[in-house]
Amino acid sequence: MIKILLISLALFSCNVEKKIQEIEVGKTIKIVPTNFSSSDDELIYLWEPPKSPKGSKPFIDIKNNKMLFTADIEGEYEINLTVESNGKSIYEETFFMNATKSKSNFISTKKDSIKDTKEPIPNKKYTIQVASWPNLEQARKDQIGLRDNGYDAYTEQYYIKSKNQLWWRVRVGNFSDKSIAEKVRKKLSKFRGNDIWIDVIE
């Protein structure tokens, strides 16, 4: 498999400028691989903690191949993504962003508020949070054990901002019906204990 490297050539040549995305402080954006997509559930998406301005503690939420990112102060941010298959890197990309404060006047009106309440609410999806592990190896073993018992388990990387650490969640299923998710959760709790819960996903 050909390894794809999309790290900006600006790191290697002064003639090529790195591509910087302009974003707003306090506004959440979605970050996904630019030139890579796959339906393979076995792929591992490794998101490194953001390189941020001094004193910054940006909000991030990782869901496999997607990161939700919110800058908290002005400045430049850098995020590295590596996609692995069978322990080998098959894709790399670095995202550069420059956050500035918005000059727009965000004044809510009664008319706007009424309009917002009429917008349709998207259907929710649910998953079952089974465990969290400090390393990928433990998470994968847990995932395999659940799959051997007939559960559609998967791993998901996430970042603990307070500890500046990456952990891995082990989750089961993608349910559109919460009652079905609850039935599966109760079945799981019989051999995994009651410390599992249902979480909402997009």
Query: What's residue 102's pLDDT?
Result: 75
In a domain, 114, yes or no: no
Query: What's residue 127's pLDDT?
Result: 92
Note whether 35 and 79 are same-domain residues.
yes
Query: What's residue 128's pLDDT?
Result: 92
Choose the final residue of a domain: 100, 135, 156. 100
In a domain, 106, yes or no: no
Going by pLDDT thresholds of 50, 70 and 90, the confidence category of residue 195 is: confident
- pLDDT of residue 9 exceeding 60, the answer is no
Query: What's residue 8's pLDDT?
Result: 37
* Residues whose CB falls within 8 Å of the CB of residue 91, separated by 6 or more in sequence, listed in order: 3, 4, 6, 33, 36, 81, 82, 83
- Number of separate domains in the chain: 2
In a domain, 120, yes or no: no
In a domain, 119, yes or no: no
Task: Provide the 8-state DSSP code for 51.
Answer: B
In a domain, 13, yes or no: yes
Note whether 135 and 89 are same-domain residues.
no
Note whether 76 and 153 are same-domain residues.
no
- Domain span at 96: 4-100
Query: Percent helix, strand and coil across the chain, each rounded to 5?
Result: 20, 40, 40
Q: What is the pLDDT of residues 144-157, one digit of tens each?
A: 988 888 888 888 88
In a domain, 85, yes or no: yes
Q: What is the pLDDT of residues 94-143, one digit of tens each?
A: 999 999 987 654 444 444 444 454 454 567 889 999 999 988 889 889 98
Tokens of 35: 């030139």
Query: What's residue 17's pLDDT?
Result: 58
In a domain, 111, yes or no: no
In a domain, 42, yes or no: yes
Tokens of 135: 């390393």
